[in-house]
Amino acid sequence: MSDGVILATTTGGWAPSGPAEQDTTPPDTTRPVTTDDYDGLRQNAPVTVHLTASDPSPGSGVAHTYYTLDGGPQTERTSVTVPAPADHSGDGTHTITYWSVDKAGNVEDPHTCTVTIDTPAR
């Protein structure tokens, strides 16, 4: 230091040798795709429908899968059970609405699955 000026020199060390690397991965703008495994047959007992989501290439991966049953509350899960009470109170047609969101925030358009419950008379 001389008269309030700092003098510095370097010896050796690292210096960049070219342009910085850039991420060349294209952004994920593709919505995820969710399917259900329901066979469409009338059921006389509770039925569990499984939801399978994927995020097509170059996807960021599936973050969440949601469903509603008969317009009820939104639930985050990959399966939904439609009950079939013995008192026949659950008999009839039930609608599962489901969709997924990927890690990039792309939201799938909702799909529906209709399950019919018809419990036997006792």
Calculate mean pLDDT across residues 81-104.
Answer: 97
Which residue from 67, 77, 74 is spatially nearest to 115, judged by alpha carbons? 67
Backbone Cα Rg of the chain:
28
Predicted pLDDT at 15: 52
Mean pLDDT in the chain? 88
DSSP annotation string for 50-116: EEEEE--SS---EEEEEEEETT---EE-SEEEE---TTSTT-EEEEEEEEEEETT--BPPPEEEEEE
Q: How far apart are CA 101 and CA 63, in angstroms?
A: 6
Question: Would you tell me which CATH number, out of the four given (3.40.30.10, 2.40.37.10, 2.60.40.10, 2.40.110.10), belongs to the domain 33-117?
Answer: 2.60.40.10
Per-residue pLDDT tens digits for 46-85: 999 999 999 998 889 999 999 999 999 999 999 999 999 9
Predicted pLDDT at 121: 83
Confidence check: pLDDT of 11 > 80 = no
What are the residue boundaries of the structural domains of the chain, listed by start?
Answer: 33-117
pLDDT more than 90, % of the chain: 71
Predicted pLDDT at 57: 86
Q: Which pairing describes strands 111-117 and 47-54: parallel, antiparallel, or unpaired?
A: unpaired
pLDDT more than 70, % of the chain: 79
